[in-house]
Amino acid sequence: MMIGNIKKIDITKSILNSTFEFLQGHGQRDLESHALWVGQKTDAVFRVSDVWFPEQTNTPISYEVPEEEEFRINKKLNDESLAVMCQIHTHPSYAFHSNTDDEGSALVLPGSLSIVIPDYGFIQKDDFSMWEVYVFDGTHWCHLRREEVNELFQII
């Protein structure tokens, strides 16, 4: 599986744990939440070097990141020569890419990924079969098959 010219996305257990702690922290209060995986691409591998938790307003069925925060994040990405590969967010029950997810994404570059986690993040975090992953083709968010997700992500 290639996403643009990326074959693998490497993420550490530590970043995965931090991500799910944040998601579950909001989930304990029945709130959706949102995080960004940032890093750099080397050859055909994107290495997630950090997870960022944008300032956000959370509800049981949505989250919103203010425009000022999006500007701050873009400036920080540029200053640190980093890129966002994935946005990851929760849903209260089933994981799917809603119309709001499609239209409200901060990621607009083809090849960007959007990961939706069910049950406010209270799942086995390294069970990729529980993740619903979508890639932006420049116009639409396209669902990746389980096999593609398993091939793409690697916990290191």
145 in a structural domain: yes
3 in a structural domain: no
Average pLDDT over residues 81-104: 91
CATH code of the domain containing 130: 3.40.140.10
Number of domains present in the structure of the chain: 1
pLDDT at 49: 97
What is the value of pTM for the model shown?
Answer: 0.94
Higher-pLDDT residue of 108 and 53 is 53
Angle among Cα 25, 83, 126 to the nearest 5 degrees reads 45
Average pLDDT over residues 47-54: 97
DSSP 16: H
Which uninterrupted H or E stretch holds 86?
A: strand 83-90
**Domain extent at residue 89:** 8-155
2 in a structural domain: no
Return the half-sphere exposure (C-beta side, CA atoms, 13 A cut-off) of residue 2: 4
1 in a structural domain: no
> DSSP 3-state assignment of 143?
strand
Output the CA–CA distances (angstroms, integers) from residue 111 to 76, 84, 123, in the order listed: 21, 11, 26
Share of the chain above pLDDT 70, in %: 99
pLDDT at 99: 87
97 in a structural domain: yes
